[in-house]
Amino acid sequence: MTEGLGSAMGEGAFGRSDAEIDLLVRGKRSGIAVVGFGYIGTVLGAVLADRGWPVTGIDVKQTVVDEINLGKTTVPEPRLNELVANNVRVGRLCATTDFGVIADNDFVIVTVGTPLGPDFEPIVDDIKAAARAVGEHLHKGHLVSGGTARRPAVRG
Ligand SMILES: NC(=O)c1ccc[n+]([C@@H]2O[C@H](COP(=O)([O-])OP(=O)(O)OC[C@H]3O[C@@H](n4cnc5c(N)ncnc54)[C@H](O)[C@@H]3O)[C@@H](O)[C@H]2O)c1
């Protein structure tokens, strides 16, 4: 999922140069909303918060939201619990089920899951629901990034 963020940071997003991206994001420091606070969302959100960004995780599961706001996570990654605990404590990381917070965050990263169905095609229902919910709160100037893992393509 990090392909969107990775390319934005490394090679330039949407064919833009690093300088153009710098101009694009300069002055936008209101915060980052990470939609889908599962495995990828929690890792990404906690690292960005630890780098100084105000991060709000948005998830449809109240249990996920409650856990983060208590400074905890069940995502099994080394030191992730510590990152989540520290950044929740200092107020840089929180979570909510309310998509309305998108209006207060210039950046939106969608990290909702795409489980594989029996035919190994990704099930995109959650992504569609998240895109619709995000779309209701976008305004001019929002930068939205997202990505999903796809099954490998095989060429014969
Ligand atoms: N986990 C990995 O190692 C990995 C690696 C590369 C890419 N990816 C991709 O990253 C994406 C996220 O994967 P993951 O492993 O973090 O998934 P996950 O299942 O761990 O987390 C997804 C989260 O999204 C939440 N969610 C579901 N519908 C939602 C909605 N409408 N609005 C807001 N939140 C919603 C779920 O409650 C869950 O907490 C997937 O597209 C996956 O293919 C995952």
| pLDDT of 24 | 64
The CATH architecture to which 29-146 belongs is 3-Layer(aba) Sandwich (3.40)
Question: 23: which 2 tokens?
Answer: 């101009």
Sheet holding 93-96, edge to edge: 93-96, 55-58, 32-35, 107-110, 143-146
Question: 113: which 2 tokens?
Answer: 């899951």
More confident residue, 23 or 51: 51
Q: Report helix, strand or coil for 21.
A: helix
CB 140 within 8 A of CB 106: no
Q: Which residue among 73, 98, 111 is best mutated to probe the pocket of ligand 1, counting the most ligand atoms within 8 A of its Cβ? A: 111
Of ligand 1's listed atoms, the one at least distance from the Cα of 149 is: 43
Average pLDDT of span 90-97: 97
Residue 85 has pLDDT above 90, yes or no: yes
Full-model pTM: 0.84
For the Cβ of 106 lying below 6 angstroms from any atom of ligand 1, the answer is no
For the Cβ of 41 lying below 6 angstroms from any atom of ligand 1, the answer is yes
CB 46 within 8 A of CB 84: yes
For the Cβ of 145 lying below 6 angstroms from any atom of ligand 1, the answer is no
| pLDDT of 115 | 86
Q: Dihedrals φ, ψ of 12, to 5°?
A: 100, 130
CA distances from residue 80 to 17, 42, 97, 118 in whole angstroms, order as listed:
32, 8, 21, 32
| Rounded Cα gap, residues 141 and 147, in angstroms | 20
| pLDDT of 30 | 81
Average pLDDT of span 122-147: 90
| Rounded Cα gap, residues 52 and 141, in angstroms | 21
Report the chain's mean pLDDT, rounded to a whole number.
Answer: 84
Give residue-wise pLDDT tens across range 13-48: 556 677 776 666 666 668 999 999 999 999 999 999
CB 60 within 8 A of CB 97: yes
72: part of which helix (H) or strand (E)? none
All structural domains of the chain with their residue ranges: 29-146
Residue 4 has pLDDT above 50, yes or no: no
